[in-house]
Amino acid sequence: MNELFPFFADHLKDIGLRLGEHVRTVGVALLLAIPLGMGIGIALSRGWARRIRGPVFYLLGLGQTIPSLALLALAVGLLGIGVVPAVIALLLYSILPIARNCYTGIQSVPDAAVDAARGLGMTQLQILRSVQLPLAGAYIIAGIRTATVVAISAGALASLIGAGGLGDFIFAGISLYRPEEMLAGAIPTALLALGADFGLSLLEKRLERWRR
Amino acid sequence: MSLLDFLHEYDQSLLIALGEHLRLVGIALLIAVAAGVPTGAWIARGEHRAGPVLLAANIIQTIPSIALFGLMIPILAMVNHGIGFLPAVIALILYAQLPVIRNTRVALRAIPPATLDAARGLGMTERQIFLRVALPLAAPGIVAGIRIAATMSIGVAAVAAYIGAGGLGIFIVRGIQTTWDMMTIAGAVGIALLTLVVEIALGIVQRMLTPKGLRVRGGGR
């Protein structure tokens, strides 16, 4: 344990580099997952989707139960190793919480608000943009928050398929049995997940308050 | 080598790995339920206790699994159990706390006060009310929490192969190390199938435990 601080000090640059890789993989996946998930959530909230809503959510839910390590391993089988398969696996994994929360958020908007907007002569698109989505904001952020934590966690495993990230330290530390190296990966990974969760929870609370 | 040949060749080791996986998840879940359900009941009775307990469980849940292993190994190494079964089972128990505690609390609080009053009016003791009225009514909700914990645990147990805990994750570990896709896929598909089977089976248990009068689909007359 005493070697921990010298190790951190000596490898500060490396830790920063791996952190950067981690944030990049997770960030790209989320940037793609947010519009996709919201698109699915919005589409399923429309009247015409009433029939397929249940089955689609059921299938997405089953997909979500597949462990992230298994999904990453399958991505290797199909797409090879590297950042791209990792991003795709993380992206697939992040869609469900975003889609489900976006849908629930839109459903939670009072009918009266939608009726009032329609009465003002707003089009469907305008209602979606200026009434439903803003009022669903807190739910959508909650979904993005879940997706972010899940993606940071899976991002640590993505090191195994050659995507870099903080997992590099943890896995190297485990296989060489070097506790200080494990901690050099584990502590920043845990802090990254907790920090992202906390930051997004603040945003969620602010949007919730704004809604009232 | 086709998938069928592979399964034929490795059927023994797959079965052993499946057994290890189930043993790890099973033991962890038993302990997690034994700890989580009473904790959930405890915070359901005193709302002021709910905040801190759920916050702590939520923080644990947020820590990525491999990071939790990385944090625990140096600590457990001091008692010579750094890698292997022990850190894996502890991590699984910790992760299962949030869904079990949260669902137990929500399910117990959802019981109408009138029902509990009626039981009290019949002269039941608090203990009888809890065991014979509250717990059966909360059972489907509690099982829903165990179901979430179970699917999560199967996934975390897969990662635990990296810290020497065995299980189906071993196939992924070896497959990735030797870049033998067939092995990786066998592990991944095995874990995914196991998760789906457990998810569906516990869903059925949840449905069966739901009192007839409360069933929405497929129940009733």
pLDDT at B105 (0 to 100): 95
Over residues A190-209, the mean pLDDT reads 92
Cα–Cα distance for residue pair B43/A26, rounded to 1 Å: 35
3-state DSSP assignment of residue A162: coil
pLDDT at B145 (0 to 100): 95
Chain A residue numbers touching B60 (CB-CB < 8 A): none
Most A CBs within 10 Å, among B3, B66, B94, to test the A interface: B66
Nearest to B172 by CA among B184, B161, B154, B181: B184
Cα–Cα distance for residue pair B199/A133, rounded to 1 Å: 33
pLDDT of B109 > 50? The answer is: yes
If pLDDT is split at 50, 70 and 90, which confidence band does B47 have?
confident
Other Cβ atoms within 10 Å of A152 Cβ, number: 29
pLDDT at B70 (0 to 100): 86
Q: Could you report the per-residue pLDDT of B146-173, keeping only the tens digit for each?
A: 999 999 999 999 999 998 888 999 998 8
The interface residues of chain A toward chain B in range 56-115, judged by CB-CB distance below 8 A, are: 62, 65-71, 73-74, 76-77
Task: Parse chain A into domains and list their residue ranges.
Answer: 4-211
Nearest to A162 by CA among A67, A93, A79, A65: A79
Taking the CA of residue A4 as centre, how many other CA atoms within 13 Å lie in the half-sphere pointing to its CB?
12
Q: Which architecture does CATH list for B3-211?
A: Orthogonal Bundle (1.10)
* Lowest mean pLDDT, pick from B17-26, B46-55, B80-89: B80-89
Task: Parse chain B into domains and list their residue ranges.
Answer: 3-211
Over residues B33-48, the mean pLDDT reads 93
Q: Which residue of A74, A152, A156 is in closest CB contact with B188?
A: A74
Chain A residue numbers touching B172 (CB-CB < 8 A): 69-70, 73
Please report, for residues A198, B12, B167, B187, the alpha-carbon distance to residue B7 in angstroms, rounded to integers and kept in the order given: 45, 9, 16, 11
Q: Are A150 and A7 in contact (CB under 8 A)?
A: no
Q: Are B209 and B146 in contact (CB under 8 A)?
A: no
Q: Is the pTM of this model over 0.95?
A: no
What's the CATH fold of domain A4-211? MetI-like fold (1.10.3720)
DSSP letter at B83 equals S
